[in-house]
Structure 1
Amino acid sequence: MDTIKEKILLSYDIRGLYPKDINADVAWRLGYYLTPLLIKEGILPKRRLKIIIGRDTRKSGLILLKNLIQGLMQNNVEVFDAGIITTPFLYFLIKNYHFDLGIIITGSHLNENYTGFKIYTNELQAITGEQLKKYLNHFNQPVTIGLIKGKQLRKNFIREYADFLLNQSEIRKYLRNIQNKNILVCCPKSTQLILEKIKKELKIKMQFVHRPIPKRLLNKRKNDFMVQFDADGDRIYIIQRNGEVILGDVLGAFFIELLKNKKPKKVILDCRCGCFLEDLAKKYKFEVVYSKAGHSFFKEAMKKN
């Protein structure tokens, strides 16, 4: 059985080439050893655990999912297979259905040859590759495959997640402004499955493509704008009709304007943000909280504030 290599244990998550660095054996080992180690560390409770697992649309995802679940079920756990999901979808599932642990198999924004694992506790604390390095020898010790102790269930949560997004975003207030727009969405199937539900509910004009469209061709389409997502749905780009990308600071300003009358009035910025975004936040009396760049640092700052 292949072992887990130190180089795939990164600062934020676990990531590497498939099948050179991450394959079925690695997924099985991770599943087999992960929960006992996290229980020993006091990160997970000492009881039968509820774990939610999903994957992005990469072809490698299915075999990795199968072996990860098989490894997990050597322990006394209850595993829910949510199928094809996004990372924000995983956050929703963990918090709303009170799972002890959530795992998504994804290579994030990297190309198709990469894959990996993002792992989160019930408090959405990331279990990073860096944290797991000290257990590398433990992960790679000889294993004995025994009787299955766990339980596996499958459930599609897309309808529940789509309803959550519709209600939390209050997008129906702005329907008059968007129903006459032609929206092009470049995204993987995981994101499309969610947006199809929203499209149907709101009766908006939305087309889907799965590969980025070159700027010269985008100009010829009759779309008002394009929205582009990465493979696990936690990165977004807005592209104008002329092919120009709207800067992240401009999107940040849009959200500050949108939330200026909401409470609590706090906004988290990192060192990459322009001064005008900070000035706009202070203009509307937001408390500005500064964070290191990176989603795990942002989530920590959100929890603290």
Structure 2
Amino acid sequence: MNINPSIFKAYDIRGVYLDEITPEAAYRIGRAFAQYIWVTVLNKERSPLIVVNADARASSPELRAELLRGLLDEKCHVIDCGLSTTPLHYFSINHLQADGGVMVTASHNPAKYNGFKLSRRGAEPIGEGTGMEEIRNTVLRGIFPVPDEKGTVTEDNLQMAYLDYLCSLVDISKIKNMRVVFDVGNGMVGLILPKLLERLHLETTILFGDIDMTFPNHEANPVKDETLHVLQKTIIEKHADVGFAFDGDGDRVRFMTSSGFAVRGDITIALFAEYFLQNHPGEKIVFDSARSSRVVTERVQEAGGIVVESRVGNTFIKKHMRKENAIFGGEVSGHYCHRDFFFAESALLSMLRLLIILSENEKIADELVKPFLRYVSSGEVNVSVAEKDKALDNVVVHYKDAQEVKYIDGVSIVYEDFWFNVRPSNTEPLLRITMEAKEKGVLEKQLTDILNLVRNL
């Protein structure tokens, strides 16, 4: 049986169940992943210890069963930790001192999708340039020895240990009594959030808290403003102090102020940077500079921190964080990674730290965010182009008088009163343009100019 190579992405393995992600693919992924860990992590010295978790999609049980079959045929010792958020999975890998882990999930994608997030020891992600190509090639070849013996499976549940660990990182006694609205989006955070709230003194409203990964109310993707309407309305109706929206597998979060203003991910990165650098000046902050506001760089530097720019993608953020021993890293999409959480993201840990920030300030959330809204932004604009490389070359030539040109992710062009990034999509014939300026009129003119440039090739 042929496996669709398109399921192997830069950060994970993902596709439409049965059309692209098949039980046979799951079995091969289990075997290929185990071989990769056996060779690269263990130097063939012993059988791997692997943690497996899954989300609650209808297709997850079958995919998990076939994944387990593949791992067992490679003599792995598997600890099946059951239903989980992705951050709980990362915690489980570390808590159990496993050699690697597999999370069966398609994150925020619609119900017809499923996939796998792969990690090495320490919950270090496997993605483009860090093992994904080797695993893909092994899966596509599909040649495996007939197993002469099987591995073992045991079960564990680490939900309470995970919550204990989160609460050891944050002094929850300092969180003031606030009105808070949570939009779980019928995702996996609903498994753990109620148990965490039992430890906090908050007046809470939970929206769409039942786990139903057909996502009957809205897509569990808080980066999309259109998914936040009910949260916004409820915050205003309840006179809440703050709101939080989570994605499907619980590794991303977006927060909303008492006025119903949905705070962009890059502004949240700046807020977190200020928080960490107050007590840890000189530390490094990693972020995806291609999509982020200039205010992130400015606030990091103003607070005495060191800027580390990264490509878009949480695997790249984490790679830089580990290399630089950065205290915090963030992505516009809402991935916020913490050094004391294995250089990984936890939406619940980010939520707790945002509640601490609000509790330690006299200002309401809107007032805290306002100083960071210095510039006007286009957001990410997607443009269809037939020849992405040629279009990028034309951009560089056209803006040859720029003050600065950077090639960290696509190309970034900097002028005094505006700046922008153009980067190609990994999977589609698109260019993604993000522009920011000091004034709205400048933004509108310059955005029109570059759109005309790339469209008229």
Counterpart for residue 293 of structure 2: 274
Between the aligned partners of 2:84 and 2:262, the Cα distance in structure 1 is 26
Asked whether the equivalents of residues 166 and 172 of structure 1 are also in contact (C-alpha less than 8 Å), the reply is no
Q: What is the CA RMSD across the aligned residues, in angstroms?
A: 2.3
> Which residue in 2 is equivalent to 1:154?
155
- Corresponding residue for 2:75? 76
Structure 1 pair 214–97 and aligned structure 2 pair: CA distance change class (3 A): closer
> In 2, distance between residues paired with 1:135 and 1:104?
19
SS in 2 for 1:94: helix
For residue 130 of structure 1, what is the amino acid of its counterpart?
E
In structure 2, the residue matched to 1:249 is 266
- State how far apart, in whole Å, the 2-side matches of 1:235 and 1:5 are: 28
Q: Among 214, 225, 229, which residue is 1:215 paired with?
A: 229
Q: Distance in 1 between matches of 2:273 and 2:137?
A: 41
Is 1:48 the counterpart of 2:47? The answer is yes
The amino acid that maps onto 1:231 is G
Asked if the contact 1:28–1:69 (Cα under 8 Å) also holds between the matched residues in 2, the reply is yes
Measure, in 1, the Cα distance between the counterparts of 2:185 and 2:230.
19
Supply the distance in 2 between the matched residues of 1:22 and 1:143 (Cα, whole angstroms): 23
| Cα offset, 1:91, TM superposition | 1.8
Instruction: Report Cα offsets for 1:234-269 as digits up to 9, x if no partner.
Output: 221113455431112321222123212333621112
**1:1-305 aligned within 5 A:** 2-40=1-39, 42-46=40-44, 47-128=46-127, 129-138=132-141, 140-141=142-143, 144=146, 146=147, 149-173=150-174, 175-176=175-176, 179-210=177-208, 211-212=217-218, 215=229, 218-219=232-233, 221-222=237-238, 224=240, 225-263=242-280, 265-271=283-289, 272-305=291-324
Within 2, Cα distance between the matches of 1:136 and 1:197? 39
Measured in 2, the distance between the counterparts of 1:43 and 1:214 equals 42
Measure, in 1, the Cα distance between the counterparts of 2:134 and 2:185.
31
CA deviations on 1:136-161 (whole Å, 9 max, x unpaired) are: 443x23774x5651111111100011
Describe the SS at the equivalent of 1:73: helix
Stretches (4+) displaced over 6 A: none
* Contact 2:182/2:231, CA 8 A, preserved across alignment: no
Q: Aligned with 2:56: secondary structure? A: coil
C-alpha contact (below 8 Å) 1:162/1:195 kept by paired residues? no
Give the length in aligned residue pairs: 298
Query: Which one has the largest radius of gyration?
Result: 2
Question: Structure 1 unaligned runs (5+)?
Answer: none
Instruction: Give unmatched runs, 5+ long, in structure 2.
Output: 209-216, 219-226, 325-457
Aligned residue identity for 1:284: A
Q: CA deviation at 1:279?
A: 1.2
Per the alignment, do residues 70 and 277 of structure 1 end up closer, same or farther by CA in structure 2, a change over 3 Å counting? same
> Percent of aligned pairs with the same residue?
27
TM-score of the superposed pair, with normalisation by structure 2 = 0.60
| TM-score, normalization by structure 1 | 0.88
